[in-house]
Chain A
Amino acid sequence: MKLLKLVPQDTNIRFLKLRVPFFILSIVLIVGSWAAVLTQGLNYGVDFAGGQEIRATFTQTAEAPVVELRQVIGDIENIEDPIVQRFGEPNEVSIRVKLPPEAEGNPEFANAMTNAIVTEIQQSYPDIRIDGVDSVSGKVSGEFRNDAALALIAAMVMVALYIWLRFEWQFGVGALFALFHDVSVTLGLFALTQLEFSLQIIAAILAIIGYSLNDTIVVYDRIRENLKKYRKMPLPELLDLSVNETLARTVMTSLTLLVALLPLLFFGPASLFGLVAAITAGLFIGTYSSVYLAAPLLIWMGVTSDSFVPKETEADLQEKKVLGQV
């Protein structure tokens, strides 16, 4: 039986040759992403902005009358600039309204607004089916924002610390920077596309942090191994060798993940679209960053085989002990 080989054996692609241009590109991506986040802003959903979101399906009409609906809801007292969007299927809509300042600390107000909208659209469109109502007060959404930022920072710092413990400080810094890149670019993408930014997206970013690091660790692990094996090899060459050696795995893993994710992106529930889209984008960003950021950074931080090896042999012994029990 002939087996499929996605990556030919013995590739020798000089990835690291392009490290400077790609590093510049990465910096540009990071800066650009933050610029986009700061100028465009993220399209916060109700989780982070507070307010209300009503999701509804037209059971008889094939296509939701979005413009008309916007008008109908905008005419309700106290409601300004409702955001009415298609959501998934053409007959599904999401209606988002901001709570006016007077609604803060006055839950009756929020209730009354929901009721007003639901009553109004049910009267105007008898075939509408209310699928869900989310209502988040400004206080709670503010807490969500803080918690989310905290969780992202904590995740990046903790995994970087772990890598520092398991490898060397340079590896920890490299991984941290790669993660910072991944998170920044994902945020930038959301600022540019103005896709709704919700709690689910934070979940996606944390998943990206996990899986991006997965790639980085596999490459780092090979680098550490090769540093011990080829004491004399110049570092750029050694990094290229390591990336090439793990290339088949990188491609294969990214591909299996991708073929699992794509059906979910296209056939999955509409409310998962943002989450899955973010993870799918993160898959590419994360793979790129482990090859073009995490690895070259080691050169610039002066990793040498000498600085690395002595400490490692001891750790290695312990590792073998641990693994011997498995």
Chain B
Amino acid sequence: MLDTPLWKKISLWIFTLALAAAAIPSLVASFTSSDEPAPVAADDVTAEAPAFPETDRGEDEEESSLPRINLGLDLAGGSHLLLEANPADVASQRLENMEEAVESALRQAVPEIDFGDTSRSDGQLSFILDSVADIDRARAVLEPIMMGDGLRREWDMSVVDGQRIVLTPTDAGQATALNSAMEGAVEVVRRRIDLLGTREPTIIRQGENRIVVQVPGLQDPVALKRLLGETAELEFKLVDQQALPTNTAAGVANPGSQIYPYAPETAFAGQFEAVKRLGGIRGDSLINARAGVDPQTNENVVNIQFDQQGGQKFAQLSTENVGERFAIILDGEVISAPFFNEPILGGSAQISGAFTPETANELAISLQSGALPVPLTVVEERTVGPDLGAESIRSGLIAMLIGSIAVIALMVATYGRFGVYATIALVFNVLILLGLMAIGNFTLTLPGIAGFVLTVGAAVDANVLINERIREERKRGRKVVTAVENGYKEASRAIYDANVTNFIAGVLLFWFGSGPIRGFAVVLVIGLATSVFTALTLTKMWVSGYLAAKRPKDITI
């Protein structure tokens, strides 16, 4: 029967009003903000970093119009970056680390194991032992470093031609390395962006080797990209004093040395420096880095501070090599190669090298956040200015308003009282949809606005089906109550089927889509659920309430 029990009525109302109420903060803010500009967003905006000023052109007003619902970057303005690491980079870095580990293990063996002809090619590391007799000892020494965490074998060892040892990374080892490199990279990216002071960035690992970075309100994506592109692997290495300039320029290094190019922005761009491979200090023992100005030269510099161990090493290095040059190498490029004029004992040092205040700040941030375990490249970038987003919201809302009025007019003109019920249900539908978006912290995007409009147009479909069915039943001469009852019952089947298929399409859209498209899918899918609820359950309650109260002999439909 059409009678709705009282408890059901009450709980339906509570449920409906509670969800609709969740939308009210968003709506209230959107109405008040037009009178007094930007009362809410002002706090957020001040949290900007000076290096990335947000242009203030009055867009805050629009931004605050839906404060409770997350606005997508295409509406709020901002940058979306997809960063990718090349697994081959991780592999080659691993090989390099392995080489160092093997070298030091063999050297530290007692007595020292002599070897030579080290080579890294085809993703393998190989070297020849000077004496065949050392094979078993070498095996024993190297075995522990072949195992990662002592659980899984990360390297395979084989012996070729009697005394050449070949180390091959295992797949499991490679996967573990990539995974931990990516986890580390996410952390470093997060620290760097946090140091910028940007508000509410989103940093998510995606798939095996990608990271999504979303920074709302960011106006200078170029600086952000530069910052994220920097590996910030800092090394201090002694300059090879014996190297002949002609050899260095030709790329030929003495044994035990390596050749690095100067960074393009330095005064020595295009030139090279030969440095000693061993005995340097790595930047991972830094505890602090800050941009500053050298009071004597007035140059922009980065002041760095080592931890205790690094400080001691640095003191030792500078004491032993006073009067010699050392190279400061960042990401494989020489920034500068100053002299050790005197021992540097305090554990702090200064990096100079043709910085602007901005680049000095960026380097400081990069250094302070630590080195990226793997270089990242930007494979997708989307930046939207805040003006465009504000305009989009405005025109989207206008379109939605006009559309809703037209739909409501059409429904009321066609179905009279039943159209009014459908209209009220539609209003609740929109409110509940907004409320759920706010509660679920879903993001409203530009296509999401289209999804809203589509929902407004399509949500009444269920009521159209029901009302047409009631018309038919009345035409066949059924009594009012029976006609209404049959209308709801018979139409439900089609409504149910149609919504399930729509739901399938919506879920696929969500699965496949990224960013803004997901916003569309979210609105469509939630809209399906809310429209079935409001169109079927709520209108049924109102219609039956009307029928029970008035007991009409005839209805206009």
Contacts of B222 in A (CB 8 A): 111, 114-115
Partner of A3, one of B387, B413, B446, B468: B413
Cβ proximity bits B534-557 to A, threshold 8 Å, 1 near / 0 not: 001100000000000000000011
- Does the CB pair B413–A262 fall under 8 Å? no
Q: Are A249 and B411 CB-contacts (below 8 A) given A135-B381, A221-B493, A264-B396?
A: no
Check: B243 CB closer than 8 A to any chain A CB.
no
CA separation between A225 and B469, bound complex, in Å? 13
**Chain A minimum-CB-distance residue to B413:** A4
Check: B377 CB closer than 8 A to any chain A CB.
yes
**Chain B minimum-CB-distance residue to A56:** B385
Check: B343 CB closer than 8 A to any chain A CB.
no
Contacts of A65 in B (CB 8 A): none
* Most chain A CB inside 10 Å of its own CB: which residue of B396, B468, B536: B468
- Does the CB pair B517–A155 fall under 8 Å? no
CA separation between A172 and B410, bound complex, in Å? 33
Interface residues of B in 495-514 (CB under 8 A from A): 496-498, 500-502, 504-506, 508-509, 511-514
Check: B395 CB closer than 8 A to any chain A CB.
yes
Contacts of B475 in A (CB 8 A): 9
Check: B526 CB closer than 8 A to any chain A CB.
no
Contacts of A256 in B (CB 8 A): 407, 410-411, 457-458, 460-461, 464
Check: A259 CB closer than 8 A to any chain B CB.
yes
Cβ proximity bits B59-92 to A, threshold 8 Å, 1 near / 0 not: 0000000000000001000000010100000000
Check: A86 CB closer than 8 A to any chain B CB.
no
Contacts of A206 in B (CB 8 A): 505-506, 508-509
Contacts of B277 in A (CB 8 A): none
- Does the CB pair B497–A199 fall under 8 Å? no
Cβ proximity bits B246-288 to A, threshold 8 Å, 1 near / 0 not: 0000000000000000000000000000000000000000000
Cβ proximity bits A224-257 to B, threshold 8 Å, 1 near / 0 not: 0100000000000000000001101100110111
Q: Are A203 and B517 CB-contacts (below 8 A) given A6-B414, A248-B468?
A: yes
CA separation between A285 and B385, bound complex, in Å? 36
Contacts of B508 in A (CB 8 A): 151, 154-155, 158, 206
9-residue interface stretch from B14-22, B120-128, B361-369, B447-455: B447-455
Partner of B461, one of A155, A214, A272: A214
Check: A126 CB closer than 8 A to any chain B CB.
no
**Chain B minimum-CB-distance residue to A246:** B468
Check: A19 CB closer than 8 A to any chain B CB.
no
A-B contact count (CB 8 A): 243
Q: Are A4 and B414 CB-contacts (below 8 A) given A131-B387, A133-B383?
A: yes
- Does the CB pair B464–A272 fall under 8 Å? no
**Chain B minimum-CB-distance residue to A324:** B489
Partner of B399, one of A1, A225, A267: A267
**Chain B minimum-CB-distance residue to A247:** B468
**Chain A minimum-CB-distance residue to B377:** A107
Partner of B493, one of A162, A249, A323: A323
Check: A271 CB closer than 8 A to any chain B CB.
yes
Interface residues of A in 143-191 (CB under 8 A from B): 147-148, 150-151, 154-155, 158-159, 162-163, 166
Q: Are A210 and B506 CB-contacts (below 8 A) given A140-B82, A148-B512, A249-B468?
A: yes
The smallest C-beta distance from B386 to any residue of chain A, in angstroms, reads: 9
- Does the CB pair B557–A132 fall under 8 Å? no
State the interface size on chain B (CB cutoff 8 A).
Answer: 82
Partner of B468, one of A130, A136, A252: A252
* Most chain B CB inside 10 Å of its own CB: which residue of A1, A159, A202, A264: A264
Cβ proximity bits B375-419 to A, threshold 8 Å, 1 near / 0 not: 001111111110110011001101110111011001101111000
Q: Are A326 and B492 CB-contacts (below 8 A) given A133-B221, A159-B504, A259-B403?
A: yes
CA separation between A209 and B505, bound complex, in Å? 7
**Chain A minimum-CB-distance residue to B414:** A4
CA separation between A207 and B414, bound complex, in Å? 26
**Chain B minimum-CB-distance residue to A141:** B380
Contacts of B413 in A (CB 8 A): 3-4
- Does the CB pair B388–A55 fall under 8 Å? yes
Partner of B406, one of A132, A139, A207, A260: A260
Partner of A140, one of B379, B471, B500, B506: B379
- Does the CB pair A268–B399 fall under 8 Å? yes
Check: B289 CB closer than 8 A to any chain A CB.
no
Check: B167 CB closer than 8 A to any chain A CB.
no
CA separation between A264 and B84, bound complex, in Å? 36
* Most chain B CB inside 10 Å of its own CB: which residue of A57, A163, A263: A263
CA separation between A110 and B381, bound complex, in Å? 10
CA separation between A148 and B514, bound complex, in Å? 11
The smallest C-beta distance from B209 to any residue of chain A, in angstroms, reads: 12
- Does the CB pair B493–A269 fall under 8 Å? no
Beyond the given A206-B508, A214-B501, could you list 14 further A-B residue pairs with CB under 8 A, ordered by the A residue number? A107-B378, A111-B222, A150-B512, A151-B512, A162-B500, A199-B513, A218-B465, A253-B458, A253-B461, A256-B407, A256-B457, A257-B458, A264-B403, A276-B453
Which 10 A-B pairs rank lowest in CB-CB distance, beginning with the nearest?
A260-B457, A151-B512, A257-B457, A260-B403, A210-B505, A269-B392, A259-B406, A210-B502, A263-B402, A131-B388
Q: Would you give 9 A-B contacts (Cβ < 8 Å), ordered by A?
A: A132-B385, A136-B379, A136-B380, A163-B501, A203-B509, A263-B406, A267-B395, A269-B446, A323-B492
Residues of B within 8 A of A (CB): 74, 82, 84, 221-222, 225, 229, 377-385, 387-388, 391-392, 395-396, 398-400, 402-404, 406-407, 410-411, 413-416, 446-447, 449-450, 453-454, 456-458, 460-461, 464-465, 468, 471-472, 475, 489-490, 492-494, 496-498, 500-502, 504-506, 508-509, 511-514, 516-517, 520-521, 524, 536-537, 556-557
